[in-house]
Structure 1
Amino acid sequence: MNGLEPAVDVPVESEAHGSATVARLIDEGQRDPDIVSVADVALFDDPLSPSWHSVFASNSVVIAYNPNTDGGERLAAAGPERWYEPMADGDVTVGRTDPDQDPLGYRTLFMLELASRYYDDASNLSEQLLQRNQIYPETSLLSQFETGSIDAAIAYRNMAAEREYEYIELPDQINLSNPQYEEEWYSTTSYTLPTGQEIQGGVISYGSTIRHVSDAAVSVFDAHTTGNYLQEHGFLVREQFPAYTGEVPQRVRQATDRPTENRSRLDRGTEAASSTGSDSTVLI
């Protein structure tokens, strides 16, 4: 996550990638971090396959836009029920991320497939709206607003909220945020990565695990997965978070189960990255 600055006594150096790229780098032995976090826990099923992980946050897909451009004005006027119309008419320049590199990219495809089903007069929105020249790295997607390259971006809510960009909230049936719609809506979508792994649509879930346990790694993991920065920067945090799967080391549970006021905290945060301390290496 961009701007990862935990209030712990461990130096942290961030290296941001799309989560599918993070998984590939680790799987191929190009990185060997103590901690790894991804924007889709499906990447923990394959190829990373850790013995345990935490689910610590969720998110929603939104349409971020620049209100100071003609295209942005058209989007704002169309709103959550008609946003796709000015896009289909070619009145809006749109940015998105690569589905082969990060979950936001394939979640964009999921959202558009669901939107084609949700709106009565919309069909095949992916075919109507998407072009290869719309793709940007996730780490620089929204900065395209500042250069005037695009009017809008299909993004995560937290990406727009923490930068104070205007955005259109999408219906729960298509924004991948509401567990109520997981079975009937989200799970009907899927995407196959270049590795051959098929990713099924579902509620957006961020996951993290410690690969090499140490006091420093546990401190950073605690701050990263339980910090107040998550809600402050637009992530969705549910009462059951952090939720664990697998055989969690006792020292990790003890650290993250402490009362909120006693936890290490992050002042700022974001989406998926890598950190290195003198005593630990953290890839998020």
Structure 2
Amino acid sequence: MTRQRSRRAFLGAVGGGGLIGLAGCLGGDETVTVLSAGSLATAFEDHVGPAFESETAFSIEGEYYGSNAVMGMVTDGTRNPDVVVSADATLLRDRLVGDHTDWDLTFASNKLGLSYEPETVFGEALQAGQPWYELLADAAARTVAISDPEVDPLGYRAWQAFGLAEREHGLNGFRETVWDRVAREPEEPQLLAGVESGARAGAVVYHNMAVDHDLPFEPFPPAYNFADPDRKDHYASASYTFEDGTTVEGRPILYNATVLDRADAPAAGRRLVTFLAEHPELLETAGLAVPESLPRATGTPPEGIPT
């Protein structure tokens, strides 16, 4: 089945009544509050948000942090958004499903790699074909940045990727060496600011983040870019242990969203989640991937959410 036919079937299923019912529940000037993974800040603000408002007349009010931090804000009551979006689908399910919601929708994927400033020694060597791991092992401290692994899946995926690369390329001690040299950026949306300013040569990011900043992107090989669902068992052989002692295994990059049980605007929130499923072209323009297997719901989704 082609993606086009799959999307048409989905729209036919939800268009007959579910979305009409939702539209009737929405107020005239409603705002949907979104607490999202930081890697989707530009996707929501520049792509999804304007299109959603144009189609529905309802605006998005977004806040963007590392996904682990996002889950903590929800569970401790610091934030009460309508919609929560995670860059690690399992993280959202483990932390929110049961106590804060009973469903989620997986809607996009991504790949991990290096974004870089081409007019640096590091960037020029990377473009010339020198392996990234050789460059990173020889780079001066803080030449390349990663996200904080304690608050962000992008950060702990960097640790996992370094470990998988060490095995893949026979690089004894590689992960520990580079871990001591990379800079850690606590705010994911600011991760590439240092590359743009010239303060750093590169950063470990998702593909869409490089697209956001119009910077070159060197994807990691499938063995450690976390983009291949058929390699899930291989990815799971790498793990990261948080400071509190909990451990997270590597897994394919999947974005998911849910509407909280305590949402102030639940109907508008569900309309936004459905909108994400309806418009893969917006997500792909923003640099994300939407494979044929998506969208896909888990749990007990409400009417209008694809299952």
Q: TM-score, normalised by structure 2?
A: 0.76
1:106 and 2:145 matched:
no
The one-letter code sitting in structure 1 at the alignment partner of 2:273 is F
After TM superposition, the structure 1 = structure 2 runs for residues 43-122 of structure 1, keeping only pairs within 5 Å, are 43-49=91-97, 50-79=101-130, 82-90=131-139, 93-120=143-170, 122=171
* Contact 1:78-1:85 at 8 Å conserved across structures: no
Runs (5+) with no aligned partner, structure 1: 258-284
Q: Per-residue displacement from partner, 1:14-42 (whole Å, max 9, x unpaired)?
A: 21111000000000011111111100012
1:252 paired with 2:252, answer: no
- RMSD between aligned residues: 1.9
Q: Cα–Cα, structure 1 residues 123 and 132, in superposed 2: closer, same or farther, change >3 Å?
A: closer
Q: Which amino acid aligns with 1:221?
A: V
Larger radius of gyration: 2
Counterparts of 2:253 and 2:199 in 1: how far apart (Å)?
28
Structure 2 equivalent of residue 214 of structure 1:
266
Q: Which ranges of 4 or more aligned residues in structure 1 deviate by more than 4 Å?
A: none
Match of 2:256, SS state, is strand
| Bigger share in helix | 2
SS at 1:32's partner residue? coil
Q: Tell me which residue corresponds to 1:224.
A: 276
Give identity over the alignment, percent.
Answer: 31
In 2, Cα distance between equivalents of 1:144 and 1:226: 35
Give the counterpart of 1:2 among 17, 21, 41: 41
Corresponding position of 2:236: 187
Higher relative contact order (CA 8 A, sep 6+): 1
Q: In structure 1, what is the Cα distance between the partners aligned to 2:182 and 2:145?
A: 8
CA distance in 2, matches of 1:59, 1:67: 22
Deviations 1:217-268 (A, max 9, x none): 2222222344222111111111121111111111334xxx8xxxxxxxxxxx
If the length of structure 1 is used for normalisation, what is the TM-score? 0.82
| 8 Å CA contact retained: 1:78, 1:86 | no
Deviations 1:62-108 (Å, cap 9, x if unpaired)?
111111112211222244xx211121112581011000011000000
Runs of 5+ consecutive residues of structure 2 not aligned to the other structure: 1-39
Number of aligned residue pairs: give it. 250
TM-superposed deviation, 1:195: 4.7
Aligned amino acid, residue 124 of structure 1: G
Query: Given that residues 274 and 304 in structure 2 are in contact (C-alpha distance below 8 angstroms), is that contact kept between their aligned partners in structure 1?
Result: no
Structure 2: distance between partners of 1:94 and 1:226: 37
